[in-house]
Amino acid sequence: MAFLDILKYPDPFLKTMAEPVSEVTDEIRTLIRDMTETMYHARGIGLAATQVGVGKRVVVLDVPDPDDEDRRERGKNLIALINPVIKAEHGTTKYEEGCLSVPGFTADVTRSEVITVETLDLEGRPVDINADGLFAIAIQHEIDHLNGILFIDRLSKLKRDIIKRKIRKALEAEERAL
Ligand code: QAP
Ligand code: CO
């Protein structure tokens, strides 16, 4: 079991494009296990390899069902995506997103409402996933990470500038407190 360090904005690695996984090996499965532990430890619902400094197209997600009583029940909806590609998307939806790489900040982001994603499973077999609701939003958020995009990059220039200034002020205050 290994916890990985989560990179925080403005780490430049968060802007990099991840490379496709050429073969699903034990090394990839170990990365997925470590990312899963790291996500749970940080109390997240999604984590992309880019966020732990690994430039590979790998994502882990455990998005709670909206009508679930115990939303903290782990592993129920756990899934790993390898080389995920959005094949179809419909509609638009808005959700107040956060990110483990931008801790303490949220903003409304508009994304597709319903998506079909092609991905590889843990044995390297291609599978299609149909997603809607928070699951669809989370998949799009994590695929953005693999392409070097953060949720704050999806805001209007005005809102992006405002949130970036707030983050910079918070980081400066943190520095001073040390
Ligand atoms: C991505 O985000 C996501 O600021 C996963 O202090 C975001 O797990 C999917 C978190 C929105 C769908 C909708 C954020 C934890 C976790 C924070 C996360 C924080 C502690 C974010
Ligand atoms: Co994120």
Q: What pLDDT, on a 0 to 100 scale, did the predictor assign at position 172?
A: 96
Query: Which ligand is the nearest neighbour of the Cα of 98?
Result: 1
- pLDDT tens digits, residue range 34-91? 999 999 999 999 999 999 999 999 999 999 988 776 666 788 999 999 999 999 999 9
Token representation of residue 177? 């407190």
Whole-number Å distance, alpha carbon 59 to ligand 2 midpoint, is 11
Q: What is the pTM of this model?
A: 0.97
Residue 95 CA to ligand 1 centre (angstroms): 12
**Per-residue model confidence (pLDDT) at position 69:** 67
Look-up of token digits 């483990």 = 100
CB under 8 Å to 17, separation ≥6 — which residues? 55, 146, 147, 148
Q: Which of helix, strand or coil describes residue 131?
A: strand
State which ligand 1 atom lies nearest to the alpha carbon of 151.
Answer: 7
Largest CA-CA distance found in the chain, in angstroms, rounded: 50
Q: Write the CA distances from 62 to 35, 59, 155, integer angstroms.
A: 12, 10, 25
Average pLDDT on 6-14 reads 98
